[in-house]
Structure formats: structure tokens, C-alpha cells
A and B are shown apart, each in its own frame.
Chain A
Amino acid sequence: MNTVMALAGIVIKELYRRKDFYVVFVLTAVMTLLLGSVNFFHDDKIVRYLKDVCLLLIWVSALVIAIVTSARQLPMERESRTIFPLLAKPVTRAQVIVGKFFGCWFAVGLGLLVFYFFFAVLAGSRDHRWPLAEYIQALWLQWSMLAMVIAGVLLGSLVFAAPSSNSTISFVVVAGILLLGRHLNQVALQQPEPLKTLVYVLYFVIPHLEWYDIRDRVSFDQALVPWADCGLATLYAAVYVAFLLFAAWLVFRRKPLNQ
């Protein structure tokens, strides 16, 4: 566990010493504050839309940070040859994968904390409510969702040739699941066989990232998701993460280090 945590620490240090996170955060903050300074049609409920926009930006920004950070981890180790002194120590390739995963996940978690703090202050200053439980739930579910994304991107970084292609494909897949994932079963019903079965299989195989999106509940002050459901969603994410990391290890254990 020492090794895994040491590796995770390196990823976290890398994130806060690079400028990526600060750029994304400042962009999100500036865009939200600009929108917040305008009151369209003198609508008293404008704060809801402001919250909605801010949460959307947080989702996009967190995805950008998670995908870009995870996509470069293993290729960068190989490109800069730091993987050699690392694996020359009593470190297994499985530990490298798990360490990188936790590093990215914790780093993104820290980023999310900053984003949600900003969101809470912004929303609280406008509607004078502090529904902390809602925010914690939204943050936790988004963080769980990002765990699946990070594990998938790490697997992708061992399969695709370059971090840029991995990032692009990951963005497309994640956006596709978020937008279409919940409708795939309905699409399947309208298809002839064997396409119907194929789409159904796809519906049951893909990780349903959209289940973790409770932005509407937060924006429009709806009731909390039952905590038991949150627990189940966390378990669901953990199973997918374990499966994706295992697949990454299977690929990495046979992979030549110098290619």
C-alpha cells in the first residue's frame, strides 16, 4: 500500500504543479460569474439557471481534468523512461496501475472539492440556502462516476498509440454514454434482430455514467437521492473500476516498456 500511495502522491503533485487545473478552474469561475452578473428578463428564479450552468461547467471541467490527467500518466512514464527506475524497484506493474488510478482519482477529487466549494459559495450568496447534504451527494456521485472514467482512460492509454487519441476517444465515449446511455434500451426496441440484441447487450455492458448525474436535483432543489441508492451506485462504480483496472493490468503486464 506504501508503494501505491507513493505513486498516487506523485500524480497529485504533478496536477497541482501544472497549470491545467488552475486554467480550467479560472475559466469555470469567470464564465459562471459573468453569467451570474446578468439577470435575464428580471427573473427571480434566475439563480436556478445560474446553478445549472455552474454545475454543467463543473461536470465538463472535471471530465477534462480526469481524462487528460489519466491519459498521459502511463505514456509519460514510458516516454520519459521513469518507468525503468520505478520497475527496477520492488514494484509490480499492478501496483503502478493501481497507484496511477488512485493518484488521478484523488487529484480529481481535490479539484472537485474546490469546484463545489466555489459552487456552494456562489449559490449560497444568491439564494441564502446551504443544502450541504445535497452538495455532498452530488460531489460523491460525480467522483464515483469519474472513478470509472479514469479507470477506462488508463486502460485506453495502454491500447491507443497516443494520449491525444486516447483523450479524444474517451471524450466521445463518455459524452455518448452521458447523452444516449439511458435511451439505448428504447432504441433497441425499435430495431430489427439481430441489431436489437446487440443494442440491448450494449445497454447492459456500458457503465451507466448518466445515473450519477443529479445536477437537476441540486439546481431545482429536489429531494435527496436515498443514501442506500448512493451506496449501490458506489458499489456499481467499484465493480466497473475493478474490472477496467484488471483489464489494464492484463494489457500492461505483457507490454514492452520501450515502445
Chain B
Amino acid sequence: MDAIVELKNLRVEYRAPERGQGKKVAVKDLNLRVGAGEVFGFLGPNGAGKTTTMNVLLGFVNATSGAAYLFGVDVRQPISRQRIGYLPELTYYYKFLTAEELLRFYAKVFGIPRATAETRIERLLKLVELEQARKRPIRTYSKGMQQRVGLAQALINDPDLLILDEPTSGLDPLGRMKVREIIQRLKNEGKTVFFSSHELGEVETVCDRVAIIAQGELKVEGAVGELVTAHRANLEQIFLKLVGYTGAL
């Protein structure tokens, strides 16, 4: 299977905010491979290094050592991001734009021809159920609507890989269900989805494989079914055990 996302001995170090504390290791020699058409869940407690890893994949942060590739292209090359869609956690889009203007802007950034862009904008606004609100400024949107417009912008280039950073964070149950449906639909279309989440039930439902990291280290990686069978526990119990939480087990 072709690797869509590949991390090779990825290490990211930060200078600690306090003086004299040296460097903080955010990601320790991480190796990962995500194949085409997989829905891959990237799990870990807060501060585990999930967002840092995603930031390296998206070119926001440079790795201290090791390498990261998207579609076999080094992530330091901007072209590696031509075929990806990214939905960040809690982003406030340009509030003075309407949803369709925002999507038109991102389509232009990708160099999508106008006619194709307009057709795609129609389809995406329908997909995320924002057709009625398309001409309203984004500042008037609810949190759920903002997240859905975020999802639409992530899909504007019809990406082969979707990177979602806690896509259901802060959404109500209905909003979560809609996001899950969209992920499922993308999976059926053969897209690769790489996403981080704290909602383990949701991960268990939609993911083919998962990786759990804690303190920057990979603790386990594998198919959800295999992990559940091997550990004789559900994903939540496996997660708590691997991150070192023993209180309720």
C-alpha cells in the first residue's frame, strides 16, 4: 500500500519557556505510515505531541531531526500540500467574508479554474448544509456553522488526504454526527483521513487504524479491531492504560 503520510524517526524539540530548563522534547523519534484510503486516528492526551506532529506535517514547524513526507514529498516543500485538506481546531475564519467568498478565496489559492470552483462551492455548501447561510458574514455563524465552513474549506481542492485536528471539538451531538457522516462519506470515496480526537467512541466507529502517543512517544499502533482483541478491552480502556492512567481500571 502506498504511504500517503510517512514519518521517519521524527523528533521535535522546543526551547523550554523557563530559563535554564534546556530543551523540551515534544515528539520522540516517531515512525508512522498511513496508507491510501485509510481513516487513521491519532490519539493521545493533551500535550502528548499530536498537534506538534500535525504541525510538522503541515510545514508549520520544522523537525529537529528525522523526516516527514506527504505523498512521498518532503513536507518542507509547499507543493506537498497541494493535495491535502486541513481543518484546524477552533479557527475563526475571516469574519467579514461570507461562506461562499471564503471558499472562492481558498479555491483561488489552489488555482482552481473559476467554473470548477463555482461547481465545487455549490456542492460543498450543500454537503455541510450551509446553503441558506452562504451570503451571511461568517461573524454571524454559530460555532457549529463555523466548524462546518472549516470543513468545506478543507475540501475545496477535492483533497486526497484530509488532516483534521479534533474536528468535533466543541460541537453539539448533532454537529458531531454530521462531521462523522462527512468523514464516513469521504472514506467511501476512497479519501485518506488522518485525524486527532479525544472522542474515543467516535474514533472506534470511524477509524480503520489508530496510533496512541503519550509524552511524544508512540505507545501503540494498529487496526482498531486487532487492538481491542489483543488487549481484551475497549479503545478507551486501552488508551487509559497506555497513557499510564490506572485510577478507574
Give the size category of B's interface with A: 20 to 34
Q: Is A191 an interface residue (CB 8 A)?
A: no
B84 touches A92 (CB 8 A): no
Expressed in whole angstroms, the Cα–Cα distance for A46 and B71 within the complex equals 71
Q: Is B108 an interface residue (CB 8 A)?
A: yes
Expressed in whole angstroms, the Cα–Cα distance for A88 and B154 within the complex equals 9
**Minimum CB distance partner of B90 in chain A:** A81
Say how far A45's CB is from chain B's closest CB, in angstroms: 45
Question: Which of B78, B91, B94, B101 sits near A91, CB closer than 8 Å?
Answer: B78
Expressed in whole angstroms, the Cα–Cα distance for A184 and B90 within the complex equals 51
B109 touches A84 (CB 8 A): no
Which residues from chain A contact B108 at a C-beta distance below 8 Å? 2-3, 5-6, 9
Give the size category of A's interface with B: 20 to 34
**Minimum CB distance partner of B78 in chain A:** A90
Q: Is B79 an interface residue (CB 8 A)?
A: yes
Expressed in whole angstroms, the Cα–Cα distance for A132 and B82 within the complex equals 47
Q: Is A82 an interface residue (CB 8 A)?
A: yes
Which residues from chain A contact B96 at a C-beta distance below 8 Å? 13-14, 17-18
Within 8 A of A (CB), among B61-79: 61, 78-79
**Contacts A85-B86, A85-B150, A85-B154; is A91 near B109 (CB within 8 Å)?**
yes
Expressed in whole angstroms, the Cα–Cα distance for A205 and B163 within the complex equals 47
Instruction: Name the 10 nearest CB pairs between A and B, nearest first.
Output: A88-B86, A6-B108, A17-B96, A84-B88, A80-B92, A81-B91, A90-B78, A88-B58, A90-B82, A90-B81
Interface positions of B (Cβ within 8 A of A)? 58-61, 78-79, 81-82, 84, 86-88, 90-97, 101, 105-106, 108-111, 150, 153-154, 157, 163
